[in-house]
Structure 1
Amino acid sequence: MTAPYFSFDRVSFVYPNGTKAIEDLTLTIPTGKKIAILGENGSGKSTLFKLLMGLERPTEGVISFQGKPIQYTKKGLKHLRQQVGLVFQEADNQLFASTVKQDILYGPLNLDWSAAKVNAQVSKAIALTELEELEERPIHFLSGGQKKRVTIAGVYAMEPHVLILDEPTSSLDYYFSTQLTDYLQKLDTNDRTFLYATHQINLVYEWADLYIVLHKGKLLFVGGREDLFTNDALLTTAHIEKPWIVSIVNLLRSSNPHWELMSFPDTKESLVAEINMLQKQSTS
């Protein structure tokens, strides 16, 4: 049996000013899952990611990576960060090299890879995020959306086992927001885990196969899309929008007795196919 990437055992974290950001969190982050992390601002999502990266250390409790407690030594944190990549919400907090290509190069150059592999990974990342025309451009000449794409490329180039995205579509326009899930699809393997924090529920509805909901630093929910998005009380408490597909299915279920058992499809194409099938059944 494959060990989970992360496990939290009664973890709490309090900032120096007394803000309790995470409270008594017991949670497992499994291998090979696409996980949406949901919750209102201040729910603890960004703090959770800092704990996963070793950027913060728990005030109480233990966090384990691949079955072993995280070691907060230089060697231990280097080992962790070679396998876990984080795309920050604010791109300016992540970019520091003078040009686009130099910034994307930084991570792979610190992974003891051959020069050929470094160059191949960087070229792949630049192509994936459509940065070919910008690779020699100084960072400070980039727009907010372009900077975000550079941070995504920099993490992608390192091929992390766990990829963490904290509000990755902030500063991105509609095209690149929707392209992001295509980027992630190209990275998807049986053993890679993604953690994606967002308020844009419709972007992750078709993509995620597991949902984690935080509320005021506490774990409110872990499970699948149907259990989450049919729980109106939980959605209200956590201030989570109901996906449009779920709203449409609810309307259809209530409008026609033949459609009461209609399932919740995971894509718009599946929804259209099911509507067509039910229409044929009701007229036959």
Structure 2
Amino acid sequence: MPPPPVVELVGAGYAYEDGPAVLSGVDFAVPQGRSIALLGRNGSGKTTMLRLLSGGLRCASGRLRLAGEDVSYDRAGLTRLRTTVQLVVQDPDDQLFAASVGQDVSFGPMNLGLPEEEVRVRVRESLEALDITALEDRPTHLLSYGQRKRAAIAGAVAMRPRVLIMDEPTAGLDPHGQERLLDVLDRLRASGTTVVMATHDVDLALRWADEAAVLAPDGLRTGPVAELLADRSLLEAARLRRPWGMAVAAALRARGLLAAGAPGPRTPEELDEWASAVGPAAG
């Protein structure tokens, strides 16, 4: 029997005060060792789902389960949840509050009552993981936007969560900043951290994720990312566009340049590499 998901929403629903239901009857499981893209248009409920998973909001209906057990929302239950699941919000200025990067990253481990030496180790490892060791003593208000993003992630990583949840982590970053962040996420995944990313960027999802969860008007659909993003009716219902890589692959197959079932390029760079590889062979 497979192990239970690390964290799971079961029949979850939520509505903000004096408003309609944002989510209803959502089943969403996060297994260990996967990278998951949570997709949907703006206002579809992605951020609400993330806050339910991390305990920032409490399910109005249904329940949140951690390692197969219902989460209790008392101090002990929430501490257990937040040492397993960490949320990084979209705007780092909503998360950073200490005077320096090192102080901010150390806040979570210190709140766990860890020994001072253990806190120092976690801060150092987190700064190294995010490639911002040189910024440890830098005032947070003097950081660039991309540096603030990475500092906020470092604070979550210092808690050593099994699941790292991120809300639109590439929003506001230039292309170079996006690539640096994706490199960081790849390293975290390689070290065993499960990453869930909310985004409306279908190209990023296709390139980065193993699995996808798509919020559409008729509910949540989950499955392998390439399978879901090939479903034109689902994309239309969710108001998401077709991924660039899938459109290119379809055009190549239609012209007999790419075998049926063969993976197509997901980025312009991969298209260049593919063209360079097939060019001599075609000639």
- The alignment's TM-score, normalised by the length of structure 2, stands at 0.88
Distance 1:259 1:4 in 2: 37
Distance 2:133 2:68 in 1: 40
Q: How does 1:11-160 map to 2 (within 5 A)?
A: 11-160=12-161
Residues 43 and 217, structure 1, Cα contact 8 Å, conserved in 2: no
The structural deviation recorded for 1:272 is 6.4
Distance 1:148 1:48 in 2: 21
Distance 1:30 1:81 in 2: 17
Aligned to 1:246: 246
Distance 1:53 1:124 in 2: 23
Residues 44 and 214, structure 1, Cα contact 8 Å, conserved in 2: yes
Residues 178 and 203, structure 1, Cα contact 8 Å, conserved in 2: no
Aligned to 1:169: 170
Aligned to 1:261: 260
Structure 2 gap segments, 5+ residues each: none
Partner SS, residue 206 of structure 1: helix
Distance 1:147 1:127 in 2: 15
Residues 21 and 217, structure 1, Cα contact 8 Å, conserved in 2: no
Moved more, 267-276 or 141-150: 267-276
Residues 32 and 190, structure 1, Cα contact 8 Å, conserved in 2: no
Structure 1 gap segments, 5+ residues each: none
Distance 1:107 1:172 in 2: 26
Partner SS, residue 58 of structure 1: coil
Could you tell me which amino acid in structure 1 is paired with residue 232 of structure 2? D
Could you tell me which amino acid in structure 1 is paired with residue 228 of structure 2? L
The structural deviation recorded for 1:37 is 0.5
Distance 1:260 1:133 in 2: 48
Please tell me whether residue 224 in structure 1 is matched to residue 224 in structure 2.
Answer: yes
Partner SS, residue 159 of structure 2: coil
The structural deviation recorded for 1:278 is 6.7
Residues 213 and 222, structure 2, Cα contact 8 Å, conserved in 1: yes
Partner SS, residue 188 of structure 1: helix
Residues 206 and 229, structure 2, Cα contact 8 Å, conserved in 1: no
Moved more, 150-159 or 122-131: 122-131
The structural deviation recorded for 1:54 is 1.1
Distance 1:150 1:8 in 2: 28
Could you tell me which amino acid in structure 1 is paired with residue 193 of structure 2? R
Moved more, 24-33 or 188-197: 188-197
The structural deviation recorded for 1:100 is 1.4
Aligned to 1:234: 234
Moved more, 60-69 or 210-219: 210-219
Residues 87 and 155, structure 1, Cα contact 8 Å, conserved in 2: yes
Distance 2:263 2:210 in 1: 13
Aligned residues: 281
Could you tell me which amino acid in structure 1 is paired with residue 169 of structure 2? P
Could you tell me which amino acid in structure 2 is paired with residue 88 of structure 1? V
Partner SS, residue 208 of structure 2: coil
Distance 1:3 1:190 in 2: 20
Distance 1:34 1:15 in 2: 29
Moved more, 227-236 or 112-121: 112-121
The structural deviation recorded for 1:267 is 5.3
Moved more, 258-267 or 100-109: 258-267
Aligned to 2:206: 205
Distance 1:238 1:126 in 2: 37
Distance 2:41 2:128 in 1: 34
Could you tell me which amino acid in structure 1 is paired with residue 245 of structure 2? I
Moved more, 114-123 or 246-255: 114-123
**CA RMSD in angstroms, aligned pairs only:** 2.5
The structural deviation recorded for 1:271 is 6.0
Report percent identity of matched pairs: 34
